[in-house]
Amino acid sequence: LRPPDASGLKIAITAGPTLEPIDPVRYLSNHSSGKMGYALASAAAERGADVTLISGPVNLDTPPGVTRIDVNSALEMSEAANRLAEHIDVFIGCAAVADYRVAQAAEHKLKKTPGRDELTLTLVKNPDIIAEIAARPPASGRPYVVGFAAETRDLETYARDKLTRKKLDMIVANDVSQDGVGFGSDHNAALLLWRDADGSPSQRRELPTQTKPAMAAAILDIILGCLAKRHDT
Ligand code: C5P
């Protein structure tokens, strides 16, 4: 059986961590490897899609045929995503975007102050990139929006809340408390929740533990199936 074809589709995928500067030599970040986003980009390009990866700093090669935009901070990632939004059919938010950034990164390297044992950093909230894209009015070009949720408990409840609150079309939820899956691993297990053609978030599929490339192919099949249904209605 041939997998569904994605030729003619334009897809943007955010991947990896963001890096939030503290001063010119220090930053706040997280352990996202970028592997899941890169596997999705690779699978989509293999099926003929026109794929742009908006990538935080990761140690991965750009998959063949994929256009890559390198960014560091969440603000840079947001700008790149919003710039592309009206030109794409599908937006997949796979990046582990830092929820907060340092309010005012220092212009010069922070120095230790003799006699001061504490340093306070003030953080401010970053934009929720995927919610920004999902909030676009259809008339100004709103793509089909797929989010990810990494949870350590109450997977389905939190994922369902994110799907509805962020107005996503689909969410891929990972239980990162399980050994050997998720962050940094080559494997993943997921619960997919998505909306049916009338918009109600009633669809559900569990994807058992498998390699990230295999999971990327399975997720892509479901996305392409949804797009085909939307086209038919
Ligand atoms: O709320 P939470 O961070 O768990 O949501 C995860 C989903 O939201 C992922 O798809 C992630 O890429 C996206 N996200 C985002 N911008 C943020 C935070 C999360 O696009 N500032």
- List domains and CATH numbers for the chain: 10-102+119-232 (3.40.50.10300)
pLDDT at res. 233: 63
Instruction: Return mean pLDDT, the chain.
Output: 94
ipTM field: 0.97
Pair 130, 143: CB distance under 8 Å:
no
Share of the chain above pLDDT 70, in %: 98
Please indicate if the annotation marks 226 as binding a ligand: no
* Ligand 1 nearest atom to the CA of residue 14, by list position: 12
Q: Which of 92, 129, 136, 183 to probe ligand 1 with, by most ligand atoms within 8 A of CB?
A: 129
Query: Over pLDDT 90: what percentage of the chain?
Result: 87
Q: How confident is the model over 210-224, as a mean pLDDT?
A: 95
- Higher-pLDDT residue of 186, 145: 145
Distance from the alpha carbon of residue 38 to the mean position of ligand 1, in angstroms: 17
Give the span between the Cα atoms of 51 and 129, in whole angstroms. 18
- Angular region, 115: left φ>0, alpha ψ -120 to 50, beta rest: left
134 band by pLDDT with thresholds 50, 70 and 90: very high
93 is in an annotated binding site: yes
Cα 53–chain centre separation: 10
The Cα angle at residue 156 between residues 152 and 158, in degrees rounded to 5: 65
- pLDDT attached to residue 76: 98
Confidence (pLDDT) at 6: 93
Q: What is the mean pLDDT of residues 4-9?
A: 91
Q: Under a CB-based contact definition with an 8 Å cutoff, are residues 60 and 35 in contact?
A: yes
Report the distance separating Cα 166 and Cα 107, nearest Å: 34
Ligand 1 site, residue 63, Cβ cutoff 6 A: no
C-alpha distances in angstroms, 79 versus 40, 90, 132, 136? 21, 17, 11, 14
Output 48 or 178, whichever has higher pLDDT.
48
Positions marked catalytic: 30
Q: Is residue 165 predicted with pLDDT exceeding 80?
A: yes
Cα 208 from Cα 194, distance rounded (Å):
17
Is residue 94 a known part of a binding site?
yes
44 closest CA partner among 83, 90, 98: 90
Structure tokens at 90: 């599908």
Confidence of residue 181 (pLDDT cuts 50, 70, 90): confident
Find out whether the beta carbon of 51 lies less than 6 Å from any atom of ligand 1: no
Residue 130 assigned as binding residue: yes
Residues in Cβ contact with 191 at an 8 Å cutoff, skipping those fewer than 6 apart: 155, 156, 159, 172, 173, 175, 204, 205, 206, 207
Residue 137, pLDDT score = 95
pLDDT tens profile 196-209: 988 999 999 999 99
Ligand 1 pocket test, candidate residues 100, 130, 158, 162, most atoms within 8 A of CB: 130
- Residue 1's pLDDT band (cuts 50, 70, 90): low
Residue 39 pLDDT exceeds 70: yes
Residue 116 in this model has a pLDDT that exceeds 90: yes
pTM over 0.90: yes
Does the pLDDT value for residue 176 go beyond 90?
no
